[in-house]
Chains A and B, each alone.
Chain A
Amino acid sequence: ETGVTQSPTHLIKTRGQQVTLRCSSQSGHNTVSWYQQALGQGPQFIFQYYREEENGRGNFPPRFSGLQFPNYSSELNVNALELDDSALYLCASTEQDRGEQYFGPGTRLTVT
């Protein structure tokens, strides 16, 4: 059984640019959630995808968008990057009916 993987590990972008982060879910999990974790904070829920459909969204602006693919891998896209978008972005996969989330190692995004 493979775990959750994310790419890239680290990324540096300039304010105003766009970024795409990627996640491969744990085998057998059809639900993926994305979180933003600022330094010294707990993870903040961005959105969740279940079988390629957005299944819930946190308090993030529309410039945060996502996709889930038939193989349950996922992307997080952020447009018009702002300095405050600098954070660790985590994805977590879940078996829909169990609720236990398994996190990837995260992508550290720095916006300058």
Chain B
Amino acid sequence: TQLLEQSPQFLSIQEGENLTVYCNSSSVFSSLQWYRQEPGEGPVLLVTVVTGGEVKKLKRLTFQFGDARKDSSLHITAAQPGDTGLYLCAGYESGGSYIPTFGRGTSLIVHP
């Protein structure tokens, strides 16, 4: 059983569409991070959220941390082919854990 469940696993959309990716858990996290990984590369950090209910925006990307700090979402507006990649969430469990747990990722393909 994955500590962090990401959905959907795969997403194939047309340029200009909106999408939302979810990261859910039964555990509480002190912080949660979103990464994007391109084929053959390491994950690149997009954002860190630490406060329940927090919303952060990065251009067309909007990240939200759930009020109870158990879940998070990533919303992309007007997706572009450059958004294609594997989106990973990773969380540090509350209680001082310094070992992050990663979800399996959502593979996004944006067609021109």
Contact = CB atoms under 8 A, between A and B. Distances in A.
Nearest to B102: A42
Interface residues of B, number: 23
Interface stretch (B11-19, B63-71, B73-81, B92-100): B92-100
Interface stretch (A14-22, A63-71, A74-82, A98-106): A98-106
A106 B38 CA distance: 12
Interface in A71-111: 90, 92, 99-106, 108
Interface string A40-76: 1111110010000001101000000000000000000
B84 interface: no
A48 B42 contact: no
Given A99-B31, A105-B41, A56 B102 contact: no
Interface of B: 4, 6, 31, 33, 35, 40-45, 48, 88, 90, 92, 98-105
Given A42-B90, A103-B44, A104-B42, 5 more contacts: A43-B90, A90-B43, A101-B45, A105-B40, A106-B41
